[in-house]
Chain A
Amino acid sequence: MQVPAHFGYDRATSIDHALRLLARHGDQARVIAGGHSLIPMMKLRLAEPEALIDINGIDELRGITVSGDELLIGALTRHADLLSSAVVGEHFPVLHDAERVIADPVVRNFGTVGGSLCQADPSEDLSAAFVALGATGVIRGAAGSRTVPLREFHLGPYETAVAPDELLVEVRVPIRPGGSSAYTKVERRAGDWAVAAAGAAVWLGPDGAITDAGIGLAAVGAEHFTAPEAEEFLRGRAGDDAALVEAGKIAAQHCDPQADQRGPADYKRHLAGELTTRALRRAVARASGQEA
């Protein structure tokens, strides 16, 4: 049995309480949400925090609501809640596509949206999905709230814009008409992290042309999980297959995959293109009402 090093434990009852606890412990404390990334790291002693601040009792961090033209997702929302939410499925099928291939039901029952984003694993799926949707993170610290577009949220592998004394409290996703989205992933086995994955969101004009597109890539070394060159290429273009294939090629060119036991770099780069195109096809088909 793997056992962690000694640590202290505090259960926060509100956001402010959590922030006070964080301030007290300094950068030796870690917030624990679902614990499905943090606890394995502690058991392997890759992380040895002096204190855990448990945010699972904070109800204000939980929940999925529509407010104006935004969908608000609390940081403590579980993967399983995102997956079972009808309103999420209605507006953002990419999130349901992604949730179906994130980990397994056991992990999804406890792992959270905020924990996933803050863990900032380069292969993390929700980051790619939210980036495609142009989502924003709401971060709270002692000084108050600030918002950071998810495209600026990830500073590098396992590094985010959330400071040690701050909390990610919410993710906001703009609801814009005329669009749809999709997610595709290649994994070696169900529940495995992505070999490569791509999320796409498209918005179509009345003529069927692409007015805007968002692309998110996981596990292929894409800066901020995005493919801005491919998005730019698509804007204003007819959503025909040739354009989607070309967009995939552009996305593949601009990422920087690293070889590991999931596959060599050339294969992952190829997948980045292939999966981008597949996600785009699906998103276009959905946006134009040809596919659920």
Chain B
Amino acid sequence: MTTIEERPAGDGAHGFGRIHRKEDPRFIRGQGNFVDDVQLPGMLHGAILRSPFAHARIVSIDTSAAEAHPRVRAVITGATLETLSLAWMPTLSNDVQAVLATDKVRYQGQEVAFVVADDRYAARDALELIDVDYEPLDPVVDARTAMDEGAPVVRDDIEGKTDNHIFDWEAGDRAATDAVFTEADVVVTEDMLYPRVHPAPMETCGTVASMDKVTGKLTVWSTTQAPHAHRTLYALVAGLPEHQIRIISPDIGGGFGNKVGIYPGYVLAVVGSIVTGKPVKWVEDRSENLMSTSFARDYHMRGEIAATRDGKILGVRVRVLADHGAFNGTAQPTKFPAGFFHVFTGSYDLQAAHCEVTGVYTNKAPGGVAYACSFRITEAVYLIERMVDVLAYELEMDQAELRMKNLLRPEQFPYTCATGWEYDSGDYPATLSLAMDMAGYQELREEQRAKRERGELMGIGISFFTEAVGAGPRKHMDILGLGMADGAELRIHPTGKAVLRLSVQTQGQGHETTFAQIVAQELGIPTADVEVVHGDTDQTPFGLGTYGSRSTPVSGAAAAMVTRKVRDRAKIVAAAMLEVDPSDLEWGHGTWGVRGDPKNAKTIAEIAMAAHSNLELPEGVEGHLDATCVYNPPNLTFPFGAYICVVDVDPATGEVDVRRFIAVDDCGVRINPMIVEGQVHGGLAEGIGMALMQGIAFDEDGNCLGASFMDYLVPTALECPSWELGETVTPSPHHPFGAKGIGESATVGSPAAVVNAVMDALKPLGVRHADMPLTPAQVWRAAQGRPLRTDLAIS
């Protein structure tokens, strides 16, 4: 374990602190370079024909008219791919997914054929010339009936498959939990759905593939959060030599998990390039993105909570039905088919807990973990934070008081929860107290009392979340067998300028700034002197990518560790320069100097030049300062926070106005506080979106009812209050500089706060729970005791 150095709050120019993002000037000037900006000589354009049906047998596909189109270069179908053994590809959960449908289509929007043409217009025109004869089949739409006797079998491609079952998984101690429940004074049960939502990044997914037939080198510009993992997968799937594949992930316009997996369109662009011998660009449109790429959530949960009459929570039991869609494409560590859901014990000191999760196939788009969820911790936090409120409702207890009574105490850390996670550090009561002070909690309750007397509906919702981010450790965590450790390389040029090469890729998180600040902090050089190179497998070391808030906990740690290696090498060189023994030197934030003689010191730039000169170095020291490392995290980090949301509800229309939102986050040491706050702002907006307006429902025929931004709503500034942010800082004891990761905290923590606030507002009407999204219609129906099922079409 490394100790945390005491550091003054920096100005950012030489390390940690608040500075503007290095990447912003090019984005503000419209000079970003996204996949769709890539233009190559002779480049062709691809378009995908998609299934209009949720479930249908393909009787025949006639592509002759499309092939006859004068500007069409190739039409590829499942049958073409079968001849290349590429009709199916592995998913991130060891299932397979059709690249192009061969036997059946299994969800609306599934890929059926791929046209390559001279331009986008011709490619799209040609789609209309393809004649597919479908024989419609009954779809499995309602996940709750997927396991019914006689339900249509979605995956009859899997030999011997006679039902829609994917997996059963459990965590925790069933017997101990049952015992706690038997003894408890109070047991409360609530059914809740965390509906299917979509990451909806501003930039949709796309790929430009260029196969150079002469060199055999395949270059792929792709919207990917995990370029190295993609390269290995292409090598394994297509049988191409891995060193001949280069994945470039240029500027990425938002990922949120949407760009972790490999989509059929990516593979088709590659095949298109191989078939035509030309570069092929494929960029999906908005509806394609919303209909066919990785969704998130879709967890039907039954929570049970056991407590004493005076509000000591004893145990939690959860039963989950997980809708994984037509192919199990969930991106998560292999050991954990339900991700890290079993951290649903949350921030509380429980005696026992147990969960069972059953995954099922349905005729919906595949995917699973996407959308800033830290591997299903969003579902877990929502579950526990709703259950605590449901318990408060039944005990007629104040929701803050109930939480305070049960929060882990600082002295309990490191704390092993009832399902086995080891929480690293925290002072939960201090964080909740700060949020309550910022909110003026007691005054808000007074105001609410007065309003209730007048028949007005005002609600105060609290969510206290604990996150578990930064996967590995690699011993426990891998994706398709690739362990979740990250490399880093740091090169120091003779003049002392630095180039840091990382495997993770930024999609808006500001890596080019944050990681430069880490090197600057560790090496005492200007942040401006550090160039961060990422998003190109030919230029960066291997690592598993950016998702699950893992970049700072894993690659951030790698950046610090590789810089420390450089610093250690610099010490040897400085000793030679100063003609002293290295043990006589001390580090002075940017210089190695002789202990007790501060004038006698060398800067990193001086040392770097010397390291490249003909200065005589001790035996075995080769010169230069460059270093590489691989960081394998010893544990996850556990950021946490206390959120308070205040809403007003119009009882006659069901409209919800989020009046205030107080967010106190503890993500350990903050590298660039401004970027941290930006991450929180974005996540809170996402939380408002999920809680109040987002959801992808399906009608009885399996039609996707969230396939455009008219139907799938993203929140605007008008739905978001002016966020009130606070912070506490509890460094992670095992991270090199105590950081914990912040990318998903707000998305994970905020939906429960909003829903709890709305339910608190509706409490005088006897409402205990209604499912998201809490649209005006849903709130009005909940107030009448007739809430809607939000995963199905409203009838």
Q: Which residues does chain A contribute within 8 Å of B719, judged by CB atoms?
A: 189-190
Within 8 A of B (CB), among A34-57: 44-45
A5 touches B125 (CB 8 A): yes
B33 within 8 A of A: no
A188 touches B775 (CB 8 A): yes
Within 8 A of A (CB), among B705-742: 705-706, 710-711, 713, 715-716, 718-719
Residue of B36, B718, B776 touching A186 (CB-CB under 8 A): B776
Least CB distance from B520 to A in Å reads 40
A2 touches B794 (CB 8 A): no
Residue of A6, A260, A275 touching B794 (CB-CB under 8 A): A260
B711 touches A261 (CB 8 A): yes
B652 within 8 A of A: yes
Binds B, one of A15-23, A82-90, A148-156, A266-274: A266-274
Least CB distance from B651 to A in Å reads 10
Residue of B124, B705, B706, B781 touching A267 (CB-CB under 8 A): B781
Q: Which residues does chain B contribute within 8 Å of A274, judged by CB atoms?
A: 652-653
Residue of B124, B697, B776 touching A195 (CB-CB under 8 A): B776
Q: Please report the C-alpha to C-alpha distance between residue A192 and residue B775 in the assembled complex, in whole angstroms.
A: 12
Q: Which residues does chain B contribute within 8 Å of A1, judged by CB atoms?
A: 36, 120, 283, 285
Q: Which residues does chain B contribute within 8 Å of A195, judged by CB atoms?
A: 776-777
B283 touches A271 (CB 8 A): no
Least CB distance from A149 to B in Å reads 30
Q: Which residues does chain B contribute within 8 Å of A264, judged by CB atoms?
A: 777, 781, 788, 794-795
B780 within 8 A of A: yes
Q: Which residues does chain B contribute within 8 Å of A192, judged by CB atoms?
A: 710, 713
Q: Which residues does chain A contribute within 8 Å of B120, judged by CB atoms?
A: 1, 3
A261 touches B124 (CB 8 A): no
Main secondary structure of the interface of B (DSSP, over half): loop
Residue of B36, B283, B655, B777 touching A262 (CB-CB under 8 A): B777
Q: Which residues does chain B contribute within 8 Å of A271, judged by CB atoms?
A: 653
C-beta contact mask, A257-286 vs B, less than 8 Å → 1, else 0? 001111110010011001100000000000
C-beta contact mask, B278-290 vs A, less than 8 Å → 1, else 0? 0000010111000
C-beta contact mask, B116-132 vs A, less than 8 Å → 1, else 0? 00001100110010000
A193 within 8 A of B: yes
Q: Please report the C-alpha to C-alpha distance between residue A210 and residue B450 in the assembled complex, in whole angstroms.
A: 36
B184 within 8 A of A: no
User: How many A residues, CB 8 Å from partner?
Assistant: 27
Q: Please report the C-alpha to C-alpha distance between residue A262 and residue B706 in the assembled complex, in whole angstroms.
A: 12
Q: Please report the C-alpha to C-alpha distance between residue A251 and residue B17 in the assembled complex, in whole angstroms.
A: 60
Residue of A6, A44, A104, A259 touching B795 (CB-CB under 8 A): A259
C-beta contact mask, A75-99 vs B, less than 8 Å → 1, else 0? 0000000000000000000000000
Within 8 A of A (CB), among B109-151: 120-121, 124-125, 128
A186 touches B653 (CB 8 A): yes
B693 within 8 A of A: yes
Q: Please report the C-alpha to C-alpha distance between residue A270 and residue B654 in the assembled complex, in whole angstroms.
A: 11
Q: Please report the C-alpha to C-alpha distance between residue A195 and residue B793 in the assembled complex, in whole angstroms.
A: 15
Closest to B779 in A: A267
Within 8 A of B (CB), among A103-124: 104
A191 within 8 A of B: yes
Q: Which residues does chain A contribute within 8 Å of B655, judged by CB atoms?
A: 186
B286 touches A2 (CB 8 A): yes
Within 8 A of B (CB), among A191-247: 191-193, 195
A263 touches B776 (CB 8 A): yes
Q: Please report the C-alpha to C-alpha distance between residue A38 and residue B337 in the assembled complex, in whole angstroms.
A: 46
A263 touches B795 (CB 8 A): no
C-beta contact mask, B678-717 vs A, less than 8 Å → 1, else 0? 0000000000000011000100000001100011010110
Residue of A6, A186, A188, A189 touching B121 (CB-CB under 8 A): A6
B716 touches A189 (CB 8 A): yes
Q: Please report the C-alpha to C-alpha distance between residue A5 and residue B36 in the assembled complex, in whole angstroms.
A: 21
Q: Please report the C-alpha to C-alpha distance between residue A270 and residue B652 in the assembled complex, in whole angstroms.
A: 9
CB-CB under 8 A for A190 and B716, given A2-B287, A264-B794:
yes
A3 touches B718 (CB 8 A): no
Closest to A263 in B: B777
Q: Please report the C-alpha to C-alpha distance between residue A44 and residue B707 in the assembled complex, in whole angstroms.
A: 12
Closest to B125 in A: A5
Q: Which residues does chain B contribute within 8 Å of A188, judged by CB atoms?
A: 692-693, 713, 775-776
A2 touches B285 (CB 8 A): yes
Q: Which residues does chain A contribute within 8 Å of B776, judged by CB atoms?
A: 186, 188, 195, 263, 267
B653 touches A259 (CB 8 A): no
Closest to A270 in B: B780
Closest to B773 in A: A188
Least CB distance from B103 to A in Å reads 28
Least CB distance from A246 to B in Å reads 16
Least CB distance from B124 to A in Å reads 5
Within 8 A of B (CB), among A168-196: 186, 188-193, 195
Residue of A188, A193, A264 with most chain B CB atoms under a 10 A cut-off: A188
Least CB distance from B334 to A in Å reads 36
Residue of B286, B713, B719, B795 with most chain A CB atoms under a 10 A cut-off: B713
Least CB distance from B234 to A in Å reads 25
Residue of A2, A104, A189, A259 touching B715 (CB-CB under 8 A): A189
Q: Please report the C-alpha to C-alpha distance between residue A56 and residue B660 in the assembled complex, in whole angstroms.
A: 43
Q: Please report the C-alpha to C-alpha distance between residue A197 and residue B293 in the assembled complex, in whole angstroms.
A: 34
Closest to B697 in A: A261
A261 touches B794 (CB 8 A): yes
Q: Please report the C-alpha to C-alpha distance between residue A271 and residue B650 in the assembled complex, in whole angstroms.
A: 12
Q: Which residues does chain B contribute within 8 Å of A186, judged by CB atoms?
A: 653-655, 776
Q: Which residues does chain A contribute within 8 Å of B653, judged by CB atoms?
A: 186, 271, 274-275
Q: Which residues does chain B contribute within 8 Å of A104, judged by CB atoms?
A: 716
Q: Which residues does chain A contribute within 8 Å of B710, judged by CB atoms?
A: 192-193
Q: Please report the C-alpha to C-alpha distance between residue A262 and residue B788 in the assembled complex, in whole angstroms.
A: 12
Residue of A190, A261, A275 touching B793 (CB-CB under 8 A): A261
Closest to B206 in A: A1
CB-CB under 8 A for A267 and B780, given A3-B124, A189-B715:
yes
Q: Which residues does chain A contribute within 8 Å of B36, judged by CB atoms?
A: 1
Closest to A195 in B: B776
Within 8 A of A (CB), among B740-777: 775-777
Q: Please report the C-alpha to C-alpha distance between residue A274 and residue B777 in the assembled complex, in whole angstroms.
A: 13
Q: Which residues does chain B contribute within 8 Å of A267, judged by CB atoms?
A: 654, 776-777, 780-781
Least CB distance from A248 to B in Å reads 11
Least CB distance from A69 to B in Å reads 36
Closest to A266 in B: B781
Closest to B652 in A: A274
Closest to B776 in A: A186
Q: Please report the C-alpha to C-alpha distance between residue A109 and residue B794 in the assembled complex, in whole angstroms.
A: 33
Q: Which residues does chain A contribute within 8 Å of B121, judged by CB atoms?
A: 3, 6
Q: Which residues does chain A contribute within 8 Å of B693, judged by CB atoms?
A: 188-189
Residue of A2, A5, A45 with most chain B CB atoms under a 10 A cut-off: A2
A263 touches B286 (CB 8 A): no
Q: Please report the C-alpha to C-alpha distance between residue A208 and residue B756 in the assembled complex, in whole angstroms.
A: 46
Residue of A104, A189, A260, A264 with most chain B CB atoms under a 10 A cut-off: A189
Q: Which residues does chain A contribute within 8 Å of B777, judged by CB atoms?
A: 195, 262-264, 267
Closest to A196 in B: B653
23 CB < 8 A contacts A-B: A1-B120, A2-B287, A45-B128, A104-B716, A186-B655, A188-B693, A188-B713, A189-B693, A189-B713, A189-B715, A190-B716, A190-B719, A191-B716, A192-B713, A259-B795, A261-B697, A261-B794, A262-B777, A263-B794, A267-B776, A267-B777, A267-B780, A274-B652
Which 6 residue pairs across A and B have the least CB separation, nearest first?
A263-B777, A190-B718, A2-B285, A267-B777, A189-B713, A274-B652
Using A189-B693, A189-B715, A189-B716 as known contacts, list a sample of 9 further A-B pairs with CB atoms less than 8 Å apart, ordered by residue number in A: A6-B121, A44-B287, A263-B780, A263-B794, A264-B794, A264-B795, A267-B781, A271-B653, A275-B653
Which residues of A are interface residues toward B (Cβ below 8 A)?
Answer: 1-3, 5-6, 44-45, 104, 186, 188-193, 195, 259-264, 267, 270-271, 274-275
Which residues of B are interface residues toward A (Cβ below 8 A)?
Answer: 36, 120-121, 124-125, 128, 283, 285-287, 652-655, 692-693, 697, 705-706, 710-711, 713, 715-716, 718-719, 775-777, 780-781, 788, 793-795
